[in-house]
A and B are shown apart, each in its own frame.
Chain A
């Protein structure tokens, strides 16, 4: 059976024919749309490497059927910078050494963007760590990740205040 779906991916509408309903959002992004920044780690929702935003919420793209997300707005790591200007979370990960090998980093960054938008963690490092626990870093860059999220959250809040003033 062929299914016709449409997704808005990083601001661009994509009309997609699915020959097989088994395709996950993760496989669609990587194999059909050549957006390979989103990583396939465990493929079972345990590692967080595949984290993207769907309608503004961070989810595991490996556990989402593409067909079921028909009409959704998806943001991947390829869609967060403004041209050459890095997203504040990307810049903070570099400034704070929030990675070593980098494989988990796109998922960490998308998860951090989601966490900051959710607005539940505040500036409490314990709440940041708890909120990021769905993203595993086998290099163990966790202390840098926590610092990066705290710093990015502050710079985003400062930018908001400046634009509101």
Chain B
């Protein structure tokens, strides 16, 4: 690991000043950053430790019915907050389907939003990677790419966004609160992660010094609580990134879908909102046929970036299944295997 300076500011404004310098990065739990630094993928000159900044570790109900989550709230604390899990069950399920218990105890809300691609060629410093070193090419294009993107990719980069948490956040219109050199601003989480285009080195919409201080869920997001699920196919039962995942949330009245929300994970460089699917579902009856039409619409623009044609059909099936599970109703308790399509009756082994 390259050497670096370590600073621990006491206030948000000190942190922004310290992090606006070239070569400086923020450190929260470090569960992604330290891994990247050990591999030489990220080589910062200065770490700005934000873990002691005051006031960023709270979950607050807002007067307008929304919820504000501080950037330093740990993933496990958020997922197990009873009020949060009741109001936003798909987000809690996504959080608990991600990483391991040890990592969820450490990892923060803000850090999860900013975690970097898990593409093996991005991680291997001997490989060409436009995200790591702009202009060097993309070894994934002709490499092992069965898990790479099928939507929104470019010739420059076919990596996917690894977060589970961000998928239901995009579906439910979460807002990211940012403090920067010019003060406070906010952006829709859907706009936080750009598609790669010709600048895949740009992971997010943040400027130097910008600090995510919180995340806000609108009151509207609560209206889906009784019909909301997150479903995630992995290459092993637990502790793996998504091959494909989907967050589905429905508002059902009198057997009809009044409003639907859908987002896909593991398919693009950003969590992929399925608006065409949502439009098909709004006003439709709960039916397998409607869910299949929605799945077709959500993946209409998908094309393989390599040996990953299978992910398109897999994604359609996961969409249908996630919508079916959401329509059946949010379970009283998150399943023993959160987000797993192999989840079974509690207490029975998954492979029985």
Indicate which residue in B1, B80, B348, B349 contacts A120 across the interface (CB closer than 8 Å). B80
Whole-angstrom distance between the alpha carbons of A36 and B8 in the complex?
Answer: 29
Indicate which residue in A24, A115, A120, A132 contacts B34 across the interface (CB closer than 8 Å). A24
Selecting from A6-14, A74-82, A94-102, A122-130, the interface stretch reads A122-130
Whole-angstrom distance between the alpha carbons of A133 and B350 in the complex?
Answer: 14
CB closest residue in chain B, given A62:
B34
Indicate which residue in B5, B101, B347 contacts A111 across the interface (CB closer than 8 Å). B101
| Cβ proximity bits B312-352 to A, threshold 8 Å, 1 near / 0 not | 00000000000000000000000011100000101111100
Could you tell me if B27 and A68 are in contact, using CB atoms closer than 8 angstroms? yes
Could you tell me if B80 and A20 are in contact, using CB atoms closer than 8 angstroms? no
| Chain B residues within an 8 Å CB radius of A120 | 80
Whole-angstrom distance between the alpha carbons of A43 and B34 in the complex?
Answer: 10
Residues of A in contact (CB 8 Å), total 38
CB closest residue in chain B, given A125:
B347
Chain A's nearest CB lies how many Å from the CB of B285? 34
Provided the pairs A22-B1, A133-B100, A134-B100 are in contact, do residues A65 and B349 lie with their beta carbons within 8 angstroms?
no
Could you tell me if A59 and B106 are in contact, using CB atoms closer than 8 angstroms? yes
Whole-angstrom distance between the alpha carbons of A59 and B34 in the complex?
Answer: 14
Provided the pairs A68-B51, A126-B344 are in contact, do residues A59 and B6 lie with their beta carbons within 8 angstroms?
no
Whole-angstrom distance between the alpha carbons of A126 and B106 in the complex?
Answer: 23
Could you tell me if A22 and B4 are in contact, using CB atoms closer than 8 angstroms? yes
CB closest residue in chain B, given A119:
B80
Whole-angstrom distance between the alpha carbons of A132 and B238 in the complex?
Answer: 10
Could you tell me if A126 and B348 are in contact, using CB atoms closer than 8 angstroms? yes
Whole-angstrom distance between the alpha carbons of A57 and B80 in the complex?
Answer: 14
The contact sample of 9 A-B pairs, CB cut-off 8 A, is A1-B5, A45-B31, A111-B101, A126-B350, A129-B238, A131-B101, A133-B238, A134-B101, A134-B102
Interface residues in chain B, defined as those with a beta carbon under 8 Å from any beta carbon in chain A: 1, 3-6, 8, 27, 29-31, 34-35, 38-39, 47, 49, 51, 76, 80, 99-103, 105-106, 237-239, 336-338, 344, 346-350
**CB-CB nearest 8 A-B residue pairs:** A134-B100, A21-B6, A133-B238, A126-B336, A133-B239, A57-B105, A127-B336, A134-B102
